[in-house]
Structure 1
């Protein structure tokens, strides 16, 4: 199981491409195709603090880090409940490494 979670302050234009890529990976079509090809389930979630604190409080390690360092530590990315990145979202190379796939993102 790959359980990837993004904890963000709010939707920000600077992360628009990264959020779009992760939203595509979170689609039911991709998750099913990945399961069929690799036999591995995927769970991907994106949370925004300005929408609700509940998911942040539910993840003790994330909430503790925010309490310790402040909101400036966001965004935080967890993989299988382990914090793997702070102050930034995953780039395409990091996503490729996690999922073992190539990503080609087009900017219009």
Structure 2
């Protein structure tokens, strides 16, 4: 496939999620997607003091064995589910996607 145009998708403003140690937390990323848009990669990362730690990357051709990759005509959603959270998991989590339009 030849990429015609590639861009990074910016989602909504950050949301603060509070959880007690031992709880399960699901962080969801969703955004509108036109029929002509093809998601080429999505990545969840944790960002601590300018240190970026990749958590998961999904590519439609290569897949990922951690998360489902639901694809819809007008919306796209990908969730990061953290089980039995601990204080060490506190921090900023980022999700970004690249698209081919």
The TM-score bracket by the shorter chain reads under 0.3
Q: Which has the higher strand share?
A: 2
- Return the TM-score normalized by structure 1: 0.22
Bigger CA radius of gyration: 2
With normalisation by structure 2, the TM-score equals 0.23
Whose helix fraction is larger, Structure 1's or Structure 2's?
1
- Larger RCO, structure (CA 8 Å, separation 6 or more): 2
